[in-house]
Amino acid sequence: MARSVVIVTEGLDHGPATWLSSRARIEQCSPQDPSFREFADLAEGLIVRTYTRVDHHLLARLPTLKVVGRAGVGLDNIDVRACRERGVEVVYTPDANTQAVVEYVTSLLCDALRPRLVLPGPVSTERWHELRREVVAERQMDELTLGILGLGRIGRRVAEVAAAIGFRVRFNDLMPVDRLGPTAAEPVDVETLFAESDVISLHVDGRASNRRFVDRRLIALLKPDAVLLNTCRGMVLDHEALAAHLAANPGSQALLDVHDPEPPTEDNPLWSRPNAHLMPHLASRTRRATENMSWVVRDVMAVLEGRPPRHPAPLDAS
């Protein structure tokens, strides 16, 4: 029996790629590659990461497609409804990078709130004592309120870690509180979250209704020394409004790992703000997390072999 053809557009980790290649024929190419046309008529599987958009246009080029695998957590780049209308299943890896992102958020909290200095070499006794006077945190974490926007897998885990450190933790989520179950955080309305939190960490998904959800109105509610962390989606933030807030409040900070678009363009107003810190989308970049995401190949093969996948995409994800 001929093996199914699976197109991989952005690469897989070695272990999952080897596993898949023993069960299917892998063709590595992006939709922009000339070779994509050669394999598109044969492909029953398509595996993407972050930068391949799966929509009506791409689906039209893949007449025999049965399954799309998103090697990652978000489904922003997959039109799940369009796939299902074509009879194409969508699978993903919803818990693959939770630990990695939570570790990264914790690191950002320390970067923002606990200044550190590495000695360049031996220093005099006088300079030693000067440094100990100069490098002093203004605030301790157990004096602060951490607000979490979005209490999904990552937001919930951030709440647990922050509460263990000593933060007072509050959250706001679209899901009714009685459906969220026990949590380390206190529910509040979104206006209270932004007005009363010392630190805000964003953990919402990429559904269309979340575009610019953190808008000028919410940003205007922030405390003048608030810290804003974004490790979810660049599109949830109004960057112009955030830049204006940072300019008017030099004691505030924004630590942004995600952007819209990526990479951020030269005209992004946040480049000119010294209290804005832009990073190249690193939150999920651990060896374990990237491998976990690549194991979407298991669900891809499950669909191709006629078995139910472990993680089908929810229809409301896109």
Q: Clarify whether 287 is annotated catalytic.
A: no
Q: How far apart are CA 313 and CA 134, in angstroms?
A: 51
Q: Considering 23, 139, 153, 281, which one is annotated as catalytic?
A: 281
Q: How far apart are CA 239 and CA 259, in angstroms?
A: 9
Q: How far apart are CA 49 and CA 36, in angstroms?
A: 16
Q: Clarify whether 262 is annotated catalytic.
A: yes
Q: Clarify whether 281 is annotated catalytic.
A: yes
Q: Considering 38, 262, 288, 305, which one is annotated as catalytic?
A: 262
- Block residue for tokens 């360049």: 120
Q: How far apart are CA 283 and CA 102, in angstroms?
A: 8
Q: Which strands make up the sheet holding 199-202, listed edge to edge?
A: 186-187, 168-172, 145-149, 199-202, 227-230, 253-256, 276-278
Q: How far apart are CA 88 and CA 304, in angstroms?
A: 11
For 181, the 3-state DSSP assignment is coil
Q: Classify each residue of 239-264 as buried b or exposed e, where b means 16 or more C-beta atoms within 10 Å of its C-beta.
A: bebbbbbbeeeeebbbbbbbbbeeeb
Q: How far apart are CA 96 and CA 289, in angstroms?
A: 6
Q: How far apart are CA 77 and CA 30, in angstroms?
A: 14
Decide if 242 contacts 228 (C-beta within 8 A): yes
Question: What tokens appear for 41 in the block?
Answer: 């008529």
Q: Considering 49, 157, 233, 259, which one is annotated as catalytic?
A: 233
Closest CA to 252 of 151, 141, 112: 112
Closest CA to 73 of 48, 96, 52: 96
Decide if 270 contacts 254 (C-beta within 8 A): yes
Query: Which residues carry out catalysis?
Result: 233, 262, 281
